[in-house]
Amino acid sequence: MTKKLHFAFLLSGYLLLSLSQSCSPEKHENPEASNTDSSAQILFSDSMSENWKENWFLDGEKATLEHRDDGLFFSGGTVTKMDDPEEYHAHHAVLWTKQEFEGDIRISYQWKRMESSDYGAILLYVQAQGVGEEPYAKDISKWNELRRIPSMDKYFKNMDLLSLSIRENLRCKRYPWFDREGNKYQAGGLIEPMVDYQDEIVEGRIYDIVVEKRNPTISMRITDTETGKVIINHTWDTSKIDERVEPDQVTKGRIGLRHMSTRQAIYKDFKVEQL
């Protein structure tokens, strides 16, 4: 091969390599672990380090809310159903955003579990409204007084929402569980499956939680903030609900953090984005 021909061969190879690199799609180390989206509009942002009453209101009178260096400490009461079958209803609590959110949204926040209780659950309520029949107006702030004692039945009978429940496994449910004649919907509103965690959620560790509701799906991802390990990452098809539920998809409402009795956690950097 002559020198001129050899040079032309090398040059053509270099040009082909450069062209293939410039046309290759951009690579991301772990797209599942990213919750950034340049097209998402921030609708709500709260560091949880200042007066919580500016952005939230509370159901329940036995709760404890304290601002600490690492966020907002939120605790339900202390009495369980085993202690007192009637009194325990008053020891649940729900912290609601004053703001309502419409359409597809992303919810993200840091969360630190502050107890090792095996009683009850911590729940995230997504786009909650009342069922719209008096006295349960769609604007739930109009019947706050009825929830001074925040027994569970007031929510799963009279609210229209999606629920994600952190307990011995992760569960997604659709409220209401009952029609207005008192008939229970199939499987108590459960949207299958119930999902097991990949690792234990440990008291005192910080986790990043990201929830995306894009009708007709909702997903939750929990990641260990320090190690980056994904504890759970699952998406549910929210169209798989009892056909008697109207409307078929939640579209607008408030976000709620529910602590059943004995449950405690610290919340930080709570954000809601429009997708």
17 is a domain residue? no
Cis, bond preceding 150 (omega within 30 deg of 0): no
Model's pTM, two decimal places? 0.85
168 is a domain residue? yes
4 is a domain residue? no
The amino acid at 99: Q
Structure tokens at 114: 């502050």
47 is a domain residue? yes
What pLDDT is recorded for position 99?
A: 98
140: domain CATH number is: 2.60.120.200
For residues 220, 221, 222, 223, the Cα torsion angle rounded to the nearest 10 degrees is -170
Q: Which domain holds residue 265?
A: 37-274
Measure the CA–CA gap between 121 and 190, rounded to whole angstroms.
Answer: 15
Residues 6 or more apart from 204 whose CB is under 8 A from it? 112, 113, 114
Looking at the structure of the chain, the number of domains it has is 1
Averaged in consecutive runs of 10 residues, what is the pLDDT profile of the chain (275 residues)? 41 40 35 54 97 98 96 97 96 98 98 94 98 96 98 95 96 90 80 96 97 97 98 95 77 98 98 98
What pLDDT is recorded for position 30?
A: 35
Q: In this structure, how many other beta carbons lie within 10 angstroms of the beta carbon of residue 47?
A: 13
What pLDDT is recorded for position 19?
A: 37
Q: Do 60 and 76 contact (CB within 8 A), yes or no? A: yes
237 is a domain residue? yes
Strands (DSSP E) contained in 81-189 are 93-97, 101-102, 105-113, 122-130, 159-166, 170-175
What pLDDT is recorded for position 247?
A: 66
54 is a domain residue? yes
Measure the CA–CA gap between 15 and 10, rounded to whole angstroms.
Answer: 9
What pLDDT is recorded for position 245?
A: 74
Q: Identify the H or E element spanning 11.
A: helix 3-23
Residues 6 or more apart from 52 whose CB is under 8 A from it? 65, 67, 72, 95
217 is a domain residue? yes
3 is a domain residue? no
